[in-house]
Amino acid sequence: MIDNILTVDRLSVRFGAATVVDDVSFAVARGESFGLVGESGSGKSTILRTIMGLNQDWSGAIGVNGVPARGTGRSEFSRQVQMVFQDPYASLHPRHLVGNAIAEPMRIHRLDNVEGRTLDLLRLIGLSEDFAYRYPHELSGGQRQRIAIARALALSPKLLLLDEPTSALDVSIQAEILNLLNRLRSEMGLTFVIVSHNLAVISYICDRLMLLQNARHVETLTREQLRSRDLQQNYTREFVAASGS
C-alpha cells in the first residue's frame, strides 16, 4: 500500500449557493510534491484553505497523516500540516517583529528554547539572525516570503501547503524561493502541495499535478506525462499550449 500523507476524498465546498469545489478527490504520497493548477475560480486555493479548516461548509473526507480533518482539534492538526499564503505583504502581522512572528506558533505549543529555535529557523531559510529584530515593512517581498516559510516550519509539520508562493514576487526572487523550497523538501523530507496558475513553476517543482477547471477535476498528470505532452483532455492541451513559451 502506498503511504499517503494527505487524502482528499470527494471534497465539495460551497460558498452560499455557489459550489466552488465540486467532488474532487486526490491523494498525496509521503515525500511527494503535488501541484494544483488552474485558472482563477477553478477552486484550487479553496481546496488548500479547506484542508486547513478555514472553510466550514464542506462535505467529503480529508485526512492528514491518518488524522481526520473533521473533529480534530486545531492544536493537534497544526503540528501535522501548515500553510504558506500567497501574498507575503499580507501574511505577516505588521506590528510584530519578524522573530516574534516565527516564535509565535512555538510559544502557542509551549515548546522549549523558542529563542534558539527561532534563530535556527532563520538560518535554515537563509537569513541572518538580526532579521529577527526587524518589522515586516523593513523587508522585501522575497524576504517576507522566507519568513512566512520559516513560520510554517516552526512546528515541524511534515506536510506544507503553499498557495501561489511566488506569484507576488519578481521572477529573480521567484527563482530563489523555488530553490529554497526544493532544498527544504529534500533536507527535511517534507511533502508539498503547491497551488499555482503557472505551469512552468509547477513543472519545475512538482512530481505530479492536477488540473482543475470551474471547480472540477480535469486531469491528473505526472511530470513525465506533462513533459512528453501525454495529455488526455482538450482543456489540458489548451492550457499547456497557452502556458508554453
Residue 26 CA from chain centroid, whole number: 15
In the complex, the smallest distance separating the C-beta of residue 36 from other proteins, rounded to whole angstroms, is 15
Is 72 an interacting residue with respect to other proteins (CB under 8 A)?
Answer: no
Rounded CA-CA distance 78/95 in Å is 23
Q: Looking at beta carbons only, is 25 or 31 nearer to other proteins?
A: 31
Is 77 an interacting residue with respect to other proteins (CB under 8 A)?
Answer: yes
Candidate segments 5-13, 26-34, 57-65, 165-173, binder of other proteins by CB under 8 A: 165-173
Is 242 an interacting residue with respect to other proteins (CB under 8 A)?
Answer: yes
In the complex, the smallest distance separating the C-beta of residue 178 from other proteins, rounded to whole angstroms, is 6
Is 230 an interacting residue with respect to other proteins (CB under 8 A)?
Answer: no
Q: How many residues bind other proteins (CB under 8 A)?
A: 72
Candidate segments 2-10, 14-22, 27-35, 101-109, binder of other proteins by CB under 8 A: 101-109
- Binding string, 106-145, against other proteins, x = CB under 8 A? --xx-----xx-------------x-xxxx-----x----
| Category of 39 on φ-ψ map: left (φ > 0), alpha (ψ -120 to 50) or beta | beta
Return the residue of 4, 91, 145, 236 that touches other proteins, per CB under 8 A.
91
Return the residue of 18, 171, 187, 234 that touches other proteins, per CB under 8 A.
171
Q: Which three cell numbers stand for residue 55?
A: 472553510
Please provide the distance, in angstroms rounded to a whole number, between the alpha carbons at the two ends of the chain.
39
Return the residue of 5, 24, 28, 92 that touches other proteins, per CB under 8 A.
92
Return the residue of 9, 120, 170, 224 that touches other proteins, per CB under 8 A.
170
Candidate segments 3-11, 15-23, 60-68, 171-179, binder of other proteins by CB under 8 A: 171-179
Is 190 an interacting residue with respect to other proteins (CB under 8 A)?
Answer: no
Return the residue of 57, 59, 123, 179 that touches other proteins, per CB under 8 A.
179
| Whether 51 contacts 64, CB under 8 Å | yes
Candidate segments 1-9, 22-30, 56-64, 85-93, binder of other proteins by CB under 8 A: 85-93
- CA distances to 142, 166, 173, 217 from 177, rounded to whole Å, are 7, 7, 6, 28
Is 97 an interacting residue with respect to other proteins (CB under 8 A)?
Answer: yes
